[in-house]
Structure 1
Amino acid sequence: MSSSRDRLEIEFVEDPAVDLLRVLFDYGELLLADVSRLRESTTDVLLTRRLETQLQALNPWIDQDGIRRAIAAIARVSAIDLIDANEKVHTALTYGITLPHTDANGRRQDRSVRYFDFETVEKNTFEFARQVAIKGPRQEIIPDIIVYVNGIPLVVIECKSPGLSDPIGDALRQFRRYEGRDEFQGLGAPRLFEVSQISLALARDVAKSGTTATPTRFWADWRDPYPLSSDALASRLGRTPTPQDALLAGMLAPENLLDLVRNFIIFETIDGKRIKKIARYQQYVAVGRTIERIRTALRPDKRGGVIHHTQGSGKSLTMVFLAIKLRRLPEAENPRLVIVTDRTELDGQITGQFQRAGFPNPTQAESGEHLRELLSGGAGTTVLTTVHKFQSAVPKRTDVISDSPNIFVMVDEAHRTQYGALAARMRAGLPNATMIAFTGTPIDKKDRATRRVFGDYIHRYLIHQAVKDEATVPIYYEMRDARMRIHGVELESAIRRAFPELSDEEIQKLKRGTRLQEKVAGAEERVRMICQDILQHYRETIEPNGFKAQIVTVSRDVAVTYVETLRDLGAPECAVIMSTANNDSARLQRHHHSKREREDLIARFKRQNDPLKILVVCDMLLTGFDAPIEQVLYLDAPLREHTLLQAIARVNRTADGKKYGLVVDYWGDNQRISEALEMFSEDDGVLSAMRPASEKYQLLESRHRAAMRLFDNVDRNDEEACVLLLEPEDVRARFELDFQRFAEAFDMVLPDPKALEEPYLADLKWLSRIRATARRTFSDERFDARPYGAKVGELITSHLQSEGVEQLLQPTDILDPAFLRSVAELHSDEAKAARIEHAIRHEIHVHRDENPTAYSSLWEELEELISRRRTDRVSAASQLARLEEMATRSAELRSDAGGIRLSGTSGAILPLIEFRPDLDADTRREIASSIATDLEAMTQVIDWHMKEDVQRQMRRKIKEHLRTAQSDFQEMEASTAKIMDVARARFSK
């Protein structure tokens, strides 16, 4: 290294680092003379005399022999290798060691020796020294900075000039030499790293952290100076913090350093090799903020929340770190911990993670009864379970398992099953538990909002942050189209000839019910064409780099077709991983694997040198499957939203030499990827518009009453009589609507245990039974297309012609703004029109009850336009323009031309009033709100909509307000009639 670069290293890296430690955190600086005075020789890594003083202060009972033994326990460790030695030292440092002791009365008893005071940080001594020489067996090493706590070297820091081309790479090579591993085997001074716990590589504008023997790709950024904010750090430094500053402040603040050593380091055995892991910053901050919330929440039900960390960023380890921290939290009072997943394979994976991390006695619940037994036991247990076991563990809402407040429930992948009856039973069984959600894709669709259920965010770590931190690799997306052509007229004739016994209506139901899209997807000619394309792409792009592939198909039948076709084409070794059933066809059963066989295949796939290169799946291995060796996912299934995100994330794990993950999509519906990625940037505004809980309970009550009203005058135990009430078709149609609305309201309240209260759940089950019986009795059952499925598949295949695979979209980074633009460019006028048409239909469906007049008019216009389109009298471009205009009008129905926005009944009334142009926005808003308030008060009269005198008063009140807004009599009459329609729609249910 030149003297110029030496100067840059010292001036821009080393000096700022020690200044920060000294000024910000009051570390003491030891000169080399001090180090010589405090240790025995240059071979010693401990500052023995400082440690003797601190051991005496922290353990006043200890004698000189005890001090000597305590020092020897971490200075002279018998171990098989460096990691084994480091683990033994870490255990001693965090838990202490036990020594025999004779008290003043001559009684012998064992006592624990503490090396640190973890509770009162000020009682420890924090120091650093620069350029300390440590003599190894053959060579001497001189780290730039060593941080000592109580004379124990906990942190080794290597500084590199920011002028180097690869300063961090140079620093990591230096650490390998210091540790005497890899190409430096037998060199260095590994004894230092038997004791040290954290290694830091600094170069001002880039800084990374690791620990003992950390592989190069696992060295990580630390971007958050938590608990300091970035602004607070800048204020205290008097300058803009560098990445180096953020790392040092976040990891070496005295409280943080001891916390990291005690609670955020674990040792795991993976593939027979013992490895050491230290938390990444997002894990540390998430756990810290969770503990803060638990400590400071004003009410027990406010202690929980959502940890949203993108897939592949280590959520399972975060759960382990949180569990370790909770175990030591005094406020948690020796807690019971419950780790909940929604799938058996995830339950096994999380259990394995806890066991590998050495977490004490995690117990996997085997059944609902076993779960209840485990949670009814004493404090301090750790239980791992699937959410489904709460079904039998809590058969009734009143079957409380435990009302203890020191139960902490951690729910993995909380966006999937945590909104329904199972989750409600979990909450009913553990009413005072703290619920903490871990998710990679929280959703806010309708009322199934992760944050509504669990509480506000505790911490978020999103996909772009993970890519920036190199915690995950970027994901590229490529679209290919397997072009197929079906002779439609000939196929229609063939179907009719094949099934002459079916009516025209049944033929149409047959085409809808036999999953034609799936039949086309699984056609042998199409699958063969795609397999040929996959093999060419894999052999040219993926296999040369030593990586593997996963293929996702639309069904198990298609998965089998894929694997058989791949083998026929001479592909590398491949296997299908799928669920099984006893009544599977012989074809499927040839590909069945036992649980052990599946586990063996998955383990082989994860091993780099194993010849198993391709896994074909349908619904398995899409979530929680961690295989860094997988670089490409070939997608031939209509996955959507969080399921699509979970599948995509299979390729984002880091691996040596892996620069990106790739998704090659053959399904073709590019709108799916756009919709899925929008979930990454969740709009907080959605939440403010959600119904409050009290309103949902009222809605549940009123819709329950409406659904049950039909059976008021009949004995409900006489189900035959109840079913006969539904014989008239119009009664049956009304009942179906009331039932659907009640079920919807019930779903809105879930997972609140209030939904399980009587009579709601029991009545919903009873109504479902009556509904099913009525359908059978009055021939309402749907046409069953299943018996015809195989033959229809054969007919489709025989009429299918291949036209080759076309690349529609070049591989593009999904986080690149150009990506969504590229996807948008794929949309033709026809496709855009179809999406807008669908959106308008949905808008009308959702809001028609609120404002029947306005939305009915929009509905009629839409139907007329579509009818004209069918007769080819409107071009695609013209239709698109009309639909875009209608979409704008639809959006404006909840605001006037002046941009006035109101919600609820006021928002429905506002666009129905033709205001005078001289009225300002505030006046218009006030008039609509006043009408809504008066109507709501007047509709409290029971059966008001059947009483003409009440409606007369309502019309009079509406006109009183309209006189302020309108002068034309005819306009006033028309507006009054429309507003009364809104009142009937909103207040008659």
Structure 2
Amino acid sequence: MTLEWAKERPVEYKIIHQLESYGYTYLHGGSLESERTSKSDVVLEKRLGQSVKRLNPWIDDNNIHKVIRSITHLDAPSLMENNEALFGYLVNAISVPQDLGQGKKNQTVRLIDFEDIANNEFLVVNQFHINGPSETIIPDVIVFINGLPIAVIECKSATVTEPISRAISQLTRYQRDVEKLFWYNHVMIACCDVQAKFGSIGSKARHYGEWKDTYPLLKNDVGSNSTPQDILVAGMLTKENLLDMIRNFVVYEVENGRTIKKVSRYQQFRATNKTINRILNEDKGGVIWATQGSGKSLTMVYLATKIRRLKQLNKPSIVIVTDRTDLDDQITKTFRRCGFPNPKQASKVVQLRDFLTHANGDTIMTTVQKFQESAEELGLEVLNDASNIIVMVDESHRTQYAGLAMNMRTALPNAIYLGFTGTPIDKEDRSTLQTFGPYIDTYSIQQAVDDGATLPIFYESRLPELRVEGESLDAIFDRVFIDYSEEDRERIKKRYANEESIIGSSQRIRQVCLDIIQHYENYIQPNGFKAQIVAINRETAVLYKEILDELNGPESVVIFSGNNNDSEKMKKYHTTKEQQKAFIERFKKPLKEDGLSFIIVCDMLLTGFDAPIEQVMYLDKPLKEHNLLQAIARTNRTYDKKTYGLIVDYYGVSLFLKKALAIFTSTDVEGALTNISAEIPRLETRHCSAMRFFDKVNKNNIEDCIKILEPEDVRHQFEKHFKRFSESMDMIMPNPVAAPYREDLKFLGKLRQYAKNRYRDEKLDISDCGEKVRKLIEDYIISIDVESLHKPISIFEKNFDYKVKGMTNDQAKASEMEHAIRHEIKVKMKENPVFYSSLKERLEELINRHREKRINDAQLAWELEQVIEEVRKQNSDKESDGLTSKTRPIFQLLQLEWTNSYEDNEKVKETTDTINESLSEYLIDEGISDKEDLKRQARAEIKGILRKAKAPREKLDLLAQQILELTIINREK
């Protein structure tokens, strides 16, 4: 690596240098060309073959060839399926038939040595050119293990606008252009030194996350001035960590029939490995606190996966214990969805006894009640005294400890116990640490929000006159029973005036329901989210359901545990487990697919219930401490376009929130709940930041405002500030405090749409705004100019000229034509690189002349009109020159690379026609893009025609490749 190169590509250089310090071998992509039969090869097959031989010395050359072919010629219909198949080969090995002296049998072939890291080849390669079906890509850095491209890294300068966003867009495009590169991919990284994020195949930009820990390295080992990029590379790409993650920290989870690849987050990796170290080195357990919604269940999957592979534990058994049947079902489903082998769910105590007695490498799921409530049936005897049993207790609250500690430890006296919790341990709680041992790892509420693993939760208090605030029961009673005589009020108060009866009075619930409907329809429903209502008891939950129906509110269901002593009224709302599951599945669906908007509960579904579409909880019940933290976390799951969770408080919990959370250490519950009023000053700040772009222009002159947004970097900055402003507005509207900002929001939205059309910038799209903001802007634009909502008009459309002529001045006309031409160059460059490269140079020359004031606005507009006419002629299928829009690009390519004389141009024309006729038979097969054998034959045919026409021999290979790519692109358009 030269000093000049390091200066030109400092981010790339820094990563390579860091990986070299971890023992990687660096190679420039150009030095590997001799090892590849084609630039479309993504696997270094020679190195892969050498590695297979090194790891499996018994294997013969024929089987090495079979192994290589097996993993380079997959035939699954999707990238995800091929990637999953490949990771099965990497982790679980592949088999080939070979005779090792006892007859031909299937033998296991390892592709990676996970036990002896030094037995693998780790390469870091930059500037590795890969030819795709229609595009050549050059990823900045690729990490190869044993010849397989395991990681792809895209580097950007921190000085460019939105570097991470650009890098992620490029990685997304690479997956589309050269899908095969990502069959083998473990992780993709986008970085610019001061920022770094990772994702897996199929990840959208919002799913990319940071890696904020260097574990097991200390941050000082990486450097006192280490950047986020340095930390990510140290945490993810050291040889030990990378192999560990490939083997133990990847799951393919099936959700709604769609497979999603999930790669561990840093806190899951850290917690798992700290726990393994505790088990192996100290032979004891402890507590893992990972705040709710941050992936605790997946941490348990990763931990169980790695524990099962520990040779030191000799086929360990794993027991997963929860405190509720729904949690037991949920975590069992999580294990099964992630492909975990055969988890056994104990449905009865006798079944649990049998599972535990015969446990030998099993994974057993159960509820704690099967230990606590059935001690006699369990027998309070030793069921299994093995020391390689690992018990993971989910949601380990202190109310369980007495029974759990006695019964479970009696049954499994030598097991290691691990407590998982989604809430912090409170100051007074000593039994958790005594039962399970000290903290192993913690991941706090604020850390999860900062990482984007969960969303911030806001709260607001509603109907203060109906809230229960300590001693306010009398005031509420007097209001609810205002129409009764004083004598009747006294009589009712003596008999019924307890908290639950007043909170659950029909008059009060009616007022609350009216407020809930209004709040939901104005604030929540427009964005497509759903809600949960928490009532003080079962009777009140039913009352909520009945009054919501009576008021024609959105569709709702009530879910509670019924019993035989319930009244006939209550029995009407009894539901079976199957019905409850069906309701929950409906609730989780998008509002457009299923109108079930409310789930009404009193105790059920306040823990272990994950429905990311739920944005708001209407809380009308006293909840304290752990229960409060658990309940409100129902709203913090991430979901498309959801930026926060909301607790609407009708009981008054928020008024004694400080007291409710006082039992926890303040740093542990930092960020648990934020008053929604805190968003108002932030709204003011964000409004100013978005409007400041237009401080120096007349806001009534749309052309002057659009001109401000012409530079791409300015548009990116404006977009960032506009989105922040719109997020705050979406949260506050239709509250009157948002009113002063509505006109400016409409103005900015209109301007954004105009800029999108003028500069052909698809990122400026109001569809990604919240529904309330989007509708406000759309309605405003429609009222002033319907055409502004249409897509930009192409120069090939009939009304393009009409639009330009209708513009008010030459500057606007020139700007519209310039960016229309730029757009055509961008989208058509692949179809005809010769013509459009030349056109791009001509356009830049015109713009420079205008910038230097050598031509004025009118002259520039006239020149651009001529350019547009030339582009239209170029794309015409009229054969005035004997060429069509499909053959002209080949002719111009040959003309450029071959000769410019008229006599030989005739020969070039003949050669073009011959190639076009010859390729027609190959291109009958629409799937030629994916068929290397057909493409190889087609390239050979082209080279033969060019050789016969005496084209330059040194250019034959390149020309054949370029002509085939051009032909495929132009036939498929």
Q: TM-score band, normalised by the shorter chain? A: 0.5 to 0.7
- Report the counterpart of residue 178 of structure 2 in structure 1: 189
- Report the counterpart of residue 88 of structure 2 in structure 1: 91
Q: Which moved more, 1:304-313 or 1:131-140?
A: 131-140
Structure 1 residues 538 and 425, CA gap change in structure 2 (3 angstroms): same
- Counterpart pick for 1:494 among 488, 491, 494: 488
- Report the counterpart of residue 116 of structure 1 in structure 2: 112
Cα distance in 2, alignment partners of residues 16 and 133 from structure 1: 21
Cα distance in 2, alignment partners of residues 171 and 625 from structure 1: 36
Q: Secondary structure at the match of 1:483?
A: helix
Q: Which amino acid aligns with 1:628?
A: P
- Report the counterpart of residue 50 of structure 1 in structure 2: 47
Structure 1 residues 19 and 373, CA gap change in structure 2 (3 angstroms): same
- Report the counterpart of residue 632 of structure 1 in structure 2: 616
Cα distance in 1, alignment partners of residues 426 and 449 from structure 2: 24
- Report the counterpart of residue 173 of structure 1 in structure 2: 169
Q: Secondary structure at the match of 1:109?
A: strand
Cα distance in 1, alignment partners of residues 266 and 116 from structure 2: 23
Q: Secondary structure at the match of 1:681?
A: coil
Deviations 1:119-159 (A, max 9, x none): 11111111111121222222222211110011111101111
Q: Secondary structure at the match of 1:419?
A: helix
TM (normalized to structure 1)? Answer: 0.64
Q: Does 1:611 align with 2:595?
A: yes
- Counterpart pick for 2:217 among 213, 216, 228: 228
C-alpha deviation, 1:444, in angstroms: 3.6
- Counterpart pick for 1:658 among 642, 657, 675: 642
C-alpha deviation, 1:482, in angstroms: 4.2
5 Å-filtered alignment, 1:733-812, equals 810-812=676-678
Cα distance in 1, alignment partners of residues 600 and 297 from structure 2: 25
Cα distance in 1, alignment partners of residues 599 and 398 from structure 2: 24
Q: Which amino acid aligns with 1:283?
A: Q
- Counterpart pick for 2:19 among 14, 18, 21: 21
Q: Does the CA-based 8 Å contact 1:135-1:141 persist in structure 2? A: yes
Structure 1 residues 164 and 543, CA gap change in structure 2 (3 angstroms): farther
Q: Secondary structure at the match of 2:212?
A: coil
- Report the counterpart of residue 739 of structure 2 in structure 1: none
- Report the counterpart of residue 360 of structure 1 in structure 2: 341
Q: Does 1:39 align with 2:36?
A: yes
Q: Secondary structure at the match of 1:550?
A: strand
Q: Which amino acid aligns with 2:560?
A: M
- Report the counterpart of residue 425 of structure 1 in structure 2: 407
Q: Secondary structure at the match of 2:330?
A: helix
Q: Does the CA-based 8 Å contact 1:336-1:375 persist in structure 2? A: no
- Report the counterpart of residue 253 of structure 1 in structure 2: 238
C-alpha deviation, 1:653, in angstroms: 0.7
Q: Percentage identity across aligned positions?
A: 46
Structure 1 residues 393 and 36, CA gap change in structure 2 (3 angstroms): farther
Structure 1 residues 527 and 175, CA gap change in structure 2 (3 angstroms): same
C-alpha deviation, 1:811, in angstroms: 4.0
- Report the counterpart of residue 141 of structure 2 in structure 1: 145
Q: Does the CA-based 8 Å contact 1:58-1:114 persist in structure 2? A: yes
Deviations 1:320-345 (A, max 9, x none): 00000000011221101000000000
Q: Does 1:388 align with 2:369?
A: yes
Cα distance in 2, alignment partners of residues 561 and 219 from structure 1: 44
Cα distance in 2, alignment partners of residues 397 and 355 from structure 1: 31
C-alpha deviation, 1:448, in angstroms: 4.9
Cα distance in 2, alignment partners of residues 330 and 10 from structure 1: 48
Cα distance in 2, alignment partners of residues 290 and 492 from structure 1: 65
- Report the counterpart of residue 471 of structure 1 in structure 2: 453
Cα distance in 2, alignment partners of residues 155 and 191 from structure 1: 13
- Report the counterpart of residue 621 of structure 1 in structure 2: 605
- Report the counterpart of residue 917 of structure 2 in structure 1: none
Q: Does 1:296 align with 2:281?
A: yes
C-alpha deviation, 1:672, in angstroms: 4.3
Structure 1 residues 520 and 374, CA gap change in structure 2 (3 angstroms): same
Cα distance in 2, alignment partners of residues 455 and 491 from structure 1: 61
Structure 1 residues 492 and 7, CA gap change in structure 2 (3 angstroms): farther
TM (normalized to structure 2)? Answer: 0.65
Cα distance in 2, alignment partners of residues 640 and 478 from structure 1: 17
Deviations 1:750-795 (A, max 9, x none): xxxxxxxxxxxxxxxxxxxxxxxxxxxxxxxxxxxxxxxxxxxxxx
C-alpha deviation, 1:7, in angstroms: 9.8
- Report the counterpart of residue 893 of structure 1 in structure 2: none
Q: Does 1:132 align with 2:134?
A: no
Q: Does the CA-based 8 Å contact 1:441-1:680 persist in structure 2? A: no
- Counterpart pick for 1:323 among 304, 329, 335: 304
- Report the counterpart of residue 580 of structure 1 in structure 2: 562
Q: Does the CA-based 8 Å contact 1:419-1:448 persist in structure 2? A: no
Q: Does the CA-based 8 Å contact 2:542-2:558 persist in structure 1? A: yes
Q: Which amino acid aligns with 2:85?
A: K
Gaps (5+ residues) in structure 2? 467-475, 669-673, 683-973
Structure 1 residues 515 and 64, CA gap change in structure 2 (3 angstroms): farther
5 Å-filtered alignment, 1:966-977, equals none
Q: Which moved more, 1:90-99 or 1:559-568?
A: 559-568
C-alpha deviation, 1:56, in angstroms: 0.5
Q: Secondary structure at the match of 1:534?
A: helix
Q: Does the CA-based 8 Å contact 1:482-1:666 persist in structure 2? A: yes
Cα distance in 2, alignment partners of residues 531 and 396 from structure 1: 47
- Report the counterpart of residue 67 of structure 1 in structure 2: 64
Cα distance in 2, alignment partners of residues 386 and 290 from structure 1: 22
C-alpha deviation, 1:413, in angstroms: 0.4
Cα distance in 1, alignment partners of residues 239 and 666 from structure 2: 36
Gaps (5+ residues) in structure 1? 1-5, 181-187, 499-506, 685-807, 817-989
Cα distance in 2, alignment partners of residues 406 and 138 from structure 1: 55
Deviations 1:195-219 (A, max 9, x none): 1111111122221111111233221
Q: Secondary structure at the match of 2:106?
A: strand
Q: Does 1:667 align with 2:651?
A: yes
Deviations 1:911-954 (A, max 9, x none): xxxxxxxxxxxxxxxxxxxxxxxxxxxxxxxxxxxxxxxxxxxx
- Report the counterpart of residue 562 of structure 1 in structure 2: 544
Q: Does the CA-based 8 Å contact 2:396-2:421 persist in structure 1? A: yes
Q: Which amino acid aligns with 2:623?
A: L
- Report the counterpart of residue 188 of structure 2 in structure 1: 199
Higher relative contact order at CA 8 Å, sep ≥6: structure 1 or structure 2?
1
Q: Which amino acid aligns with 1:82?
A: L
Cα distance in 1, alignment partners of residues 194 and 635 from structure 2: 29
Q: Which moved more, 1:416-425 or 1:635-644?
A: 416-425
Q: Secondary structure at the match of 2:580?
A: helix
Q: Does the CA-based 8 Å contact 2:42-2:181 persist in structure 1? A: yes
Deviations 1:866-924 (A, max 9, x none): xxxxxxxxxxxxxxxxxxxxxxxxxxxxxxxxxxxxxxxxxxxxxxxxxxxxxxxxxxx
Q: Does the CA-based 8 Å contact 1:442-1:450 persist in structure 2? A: no
Q: Does the CA-based 8 Å contact 1:634-1:664 persist in structure 2? A: yes
Deviations 1:710-746 (A, max 9, x none): xxxxxxxxxxxxxxxxxxxxxxxxxxxxxxxxxxxxx
Cα distance in 1, alignment partners of residues 660 and 34 from structure 2: 63
Q: Does the CA-based 8 Å contact 1:481-1:667 persist in structure 2? A: no
Cα distance in 2, alignment partners of residues 376 and 217 from structure 1: 46
Cα distance in 1, alignment partners of residues 324 and 71 from structure 2: 43
Structure 1 residues 555 and 812, CA gap change in structure 2 (3 angstroms): farther
Q: Secondary structure at the match of 1:625?
A: coil
Cα distance in 2, alignment partners of residues 364 and 652 from structure 1: 29
Q: Secondary structure at the match of 1:624?
A: coil
Deviations 1:672-692 (A, max 9, x none): 4224444553699xxxxxxxx
Cα distance in 1, alignment partners of residues 575 and 402 from structure 2: 32
Q: Does the CA-based 8 Å contact 1:199-1:212 persist in structure 2? A: yes
Q: Which amino acid aligns with 1:204?
A: D
Deviations 1:608-646 (A, max 9, x none): 132111211111111111111111111110011111101
Q: Which amino acid aligns with 1:189?
A: V
C-alpha deviation, 1:420, in angstroms: 2.1
